[in-house]
Amino acid sequence: MTGRRRPGAGSRDVSGASGWARVAERGSLLGLRITIGCYRLFGRPLSLVLVHAIVLYYFLALRRARRASRAYLRRMASQPEGARALGRRPGTPASFLHFRAFALSIFDRIVLWLGREGDLEFDVHGMEACHRLLRSDRGAIVVGAHLGSFDALRALAKRDSIAVNVLMFTRNARRINAIMRQLSPEAEVRVVEAGPSAFDTVLRIRACIERGEVVAMLGDRVEPGDRGRSCEVSFLGAPVAIPEAPYLLAGLLDCPLFFMVALRSGAGRYRVFAEVLAESVELPRSERDKRIRELAAAYASRLEHYCEMAPYQWFNYFDYWNQDRSR
Amino acid sequence: MRAGESLPVDRREVLDEVRASMAGLGLCPADVPSTAHLVDDLGLDSLDWIDLAMHLEEKLSIAIREEALASVRTVQDVADRVHAALAEGRGAPA
């Protein structure tokens, strides 16, 4: 008897935490708790002062993340559009701004989870085209990235009365999510947990789509649970592996595929961009790999475009272009 | 099923149909014993598995119950669920 092996399968660590997971898990809990307490006690302006102090601490303490940040910024600076958007050399000050952007994103995430959406402003582009493709018996897959705020999707869902389910690799986010649940225990948090060999995960996704709901997932990192389900695309001038799952799911479940990203444009302000990557995804078995590569390349191209619009809001603080080596 | 083709009736035929459908996942049907574990022995992941289930549903015009799908572990389990769904479609007890 022979099992099937995909190229690359087995080379990825599916049991240990990823490089990013190690960074995210390291001590973020305390900083988050302090920020939440401060926000509740003193409001936004004073809390922001504290956020900067916390950012400085993490910036000094997380050497690997700092190195990864600088490597990313150098790559961004090598792109004409990216260099313009950075507005400075990819040195230590730029790297600090990169860390600061992440802290501000987490800060706004807390605001959202405290139910204070009114404190934030969303300027939404392109949602109409997506709405037109949603049906009561067939939802959509939304693919996002660790760029800007993925949580803005929740505010958008509330505004537009769309049922949104977020597929999460919860082992990475468990600690942050525990806090979020404490903040907003009454909120209907619809998280679909993803994990290795989770057959029922796919069934739950299928059920969501058949109810006309949206299933959102991040498409820029190959998580341990993806087990070799990745394809190579060009991103910021170099090849990188991204997960196939969003494209394969959209094809198998016969639903539209959207791209969405929310970029912070100022204090408490976000520009949300929604695009239709595919109105429907047909994946005949004979052309499946080719079609998935095309969709993944289209995603990477749009991601690159938005990343160049907001280069400091790219929240992957590990050696993104050499993920296997950084894990 | 194509016009002229008949639906599998007994468990053996259903098992053969399941095995044949696995060719689309890059597996050789002749190398797939009924006792093979989908994950541990065949290296399938959840996306392969939903692909297989939906392919069988479409090909045989059946609907496999979600609760039945969730407990599937081996090739024989898949065949059993398909057999039950076919029997339900005919109005007979599984």
* A171 against A129, higher pLDDT: A129
* pLDDT digits 0-9 by tens, A186-228: 554 466 666 545 677 888 888 899 999 999 999 999 876 665 6
Mean pLDDT of B73-86: 92
| Residue among A2, A4, A199, A222 with most chain B CBs within 10 A, to mutate | A199
* pLDDT digits 0-9 by tens, A278-315: 999 988 877 888 999 999 999 999 999 999 999 999 99
pTM of the model as a whole: 0.82
Going from the C-alpha of A160 to that of each of A130, A156, A233, the distances in angstroms are: 12, 6, 33
Which pLDDT band, with edges at 50, 70 and 90, does B70 fall under? Answer: confident
A288 touches chain B (CB under 8 A): no
Q: Do A1 and B69 touch (CB under 8 A)?
A: no
- Chain B nearest C-alpha distance from A137 (Å): 16
Closest-CA residue in chain B for A10? B43
* A148 against B67, higher pLDDT: A148
Which pLDDT band, with edges at 50, 70 and 90, does B94 fall under? Answer: very low
- Chain A nearest C-alpha distance from B18 (Å): 16
* pLDDT digits 0-9 by tens, A7-17: 443 323 323 33
> Does the pLDDT of residue A81 top 80, yes or no?
yes
Mean pLDDT of A43-47: 80
Contacts of B41 in chain A (CB under 8 A): 1, 3
Token pair for B48: 């392969």
3 state DSSP class of A126: coil
- Chain A nearest C-alpha distance from B33 (Å): 7
Would you list the DSSP string of A154-214? HHHHHHHT--EEEEE-HHHHHHHHHHHHHH-TTS---EEE--TT-HHHHHHHHHHHHTT-E
